[in-house]
Amino acid sequence: MKTVKNPFLSGLINLFIPQKKQAIAFGLGLLGVLSFAPLNFAPVIIASLTGLFLLWLEAENRFEGFKIGLWFGLGFFGFGVSWLFSSIYVYSGVLLPLAILMTFSFILFLSLFIAFSGWVAQYFKDSKRPGLVLTVLFPAVWVGGELVRSSLLGGYPFLLVGNSHIETWLAGYAPVFGVWGMSWAIAMSAGLLLWLFKKRSWFVASITLCLLWSVGGLLQDVEWVKPVDKPVDIALLQGNIPQEKKWLQSEFMPTLKRYVSMTKSNMDADVIVWPETAVPAYYDVVERGALNSFIKDAQLLNTDILVGAIAGDRGSANYYNALINLHRPTDRYYKSHLVPFSEFFPLNDAFAYVSSLFNIPYATFTAGADDQAPLMLGGQLAGLSICYETAFGEEMARQLPEAKYLITVSNDAWFAHTFEPAQQLQEVQMRALELGREIARSTNTGFSAIIDIKGKIKQQIPAYEIGVLRGKVQPYEGLTLYAEWGKLPVLFLLFSLFAFMLAKRYFLSGRL
């Protein structure tokens, strides 16, 4: 009996059966993660992208470029965001097979962005001009993929390659073009190195590479902002409440007592900051009960006490991931960029049904307004953000130039003892570098830190310890170019480049 082959099914199976090139791409992607925190071997990502660009250069068709990109992504994200499994299985109580499936599905989703970048790279590739392909096309395709991934369906800006080079000369591009400019410079460095060694165009490639890095180094000496007034004395509390205990009724009062005690020991500070959802209950409940006397005392003192809690609108079903100043409880910040599939769910009704079938924990928050004003804390206007929001520099820039310094809080206990806490701290360092503002970061389990405008950690306390980070945050005024323009310059460059390539392909070549 003759077997009829399904071309689509055959292609799908072939996609997930790695051959030599795909296996190499997988290894290159896995290797690239070594450049990010907590390992911080920055040059490795350049070598990783150099290998990827070589594979794309030698790919014979669009499908092969897509497949190479997919397998690079599976290695890159499979290793780099493996921390998601800890959150789903260890702390959310999802069954092991489903937790594995959900984690792999997320890794595959992220990998598809690099896969489609590979398809686009092959679509525009001109075999007669390998130098332009390596130094212009491939870097632009890579940065375009990062931008789309960081914007689509709420955005997933994990492991943006620019974050890996905050300690190198390329960090000078951050105040000008943001993390996107740094990613572009890293990808261009990879393309130039490949052009240098493969095509032996040593003079032009080496001069361009030196110029690229030298300009980045020179930009580091530019003073985009200037200090204003005296530093703010701040106390950042790190309660170190394990995630598995955080919401237990038996731990409710011990948790509050811990934070209240740490607060009372630092009442001489200008600002005291509790981590994200440090209050393991709704604020309106503890306001009337367990923290009633403490809140009344706080209102009589001069210290601003910023606490993380869940706040609700009375008379509505809206609940917010919030920061509330106990000194003036009407001063609040509501998290505006919620985490997809964690704090809010696309296709909400459908997901509610699925969660009931598979015992997936399910709850939703309401997003705060995008245009929330900075709060007066410690005598200076401070811009606020909560956890995931620190991955989006353009959104944090909305509070500038009014905000003279920034405060962010997080609860990384969901990802304890994985790469995620260190990766998120690295993202916060990038935001300080991009925006020209010092950032004070309070977390439940770490890393709590104060970061200067060059992205350097001024002070930090160890993770997974109970402690208070007491330090000074310097207010600044003025704007970096990135804080003023965001990603518009990079988008303009990408749009112009791809518009030219499309015109060249279809008009200048005489196809139309």
- Give the catalytic positions in this structure: 276, 335, 387
- In one letter, which amino acid is 30? L
Q: How far apart are CA 146 and CA 487, in angstroms?
A: 12
Residues 6+ apart with CB under 8 A from 406: 382, 383, 384, 385, 396, 399, 431, 432, 435, 437, 438, 439, 440
Q: How far apart are CA 324 and CA 334, in angstroms?
A: 9
234, β-bridge pairs: 271, 471
In 3-state terms the chain splits into helix, strand, coil percentages (rounded to 5) of 55, 15, 30
Q: How far apart are CA 159 and CA 81, in angstroms?
A: 8
Q: How far apart are CA 450 and CA 472, in angstroms?
A: 8
Residue 280 in contact with residue 246, Cβ under 8 Å? yes
What three-state secondary structure class fits 171? helix
Residues 6+ apart with CB under 8 A from 411: 243, 246, 275, 276, 277, 308, 387, 443, 444, 445
Residue 511 in contact with residue 505, Cβ under 8 Å? yes
Residue 75, H or E segment: helix 62-80
Q: How far apart are CA 218 and CA 221, in angstroms?
A: 6
- The count of other CB atoms within 10 Å of the CB of residue 263 is 22
Q: How far apart are CA 160 and CA 149, in angstroms?
A: 10
Find how far residue 451's CA is from the centre of its chain: 16
Nearest to 384 by CA among 256, 270, 271, 230: 271
- In one letter, which amino acid is 212? L
Distances (CA, A) of 422 to 81, 140, 497: 12, 28, 35
Q: How far apart are CA 140 and CA 120, in angstroms?
A: 10
Cis amide leading into 231 (omega within 30): no
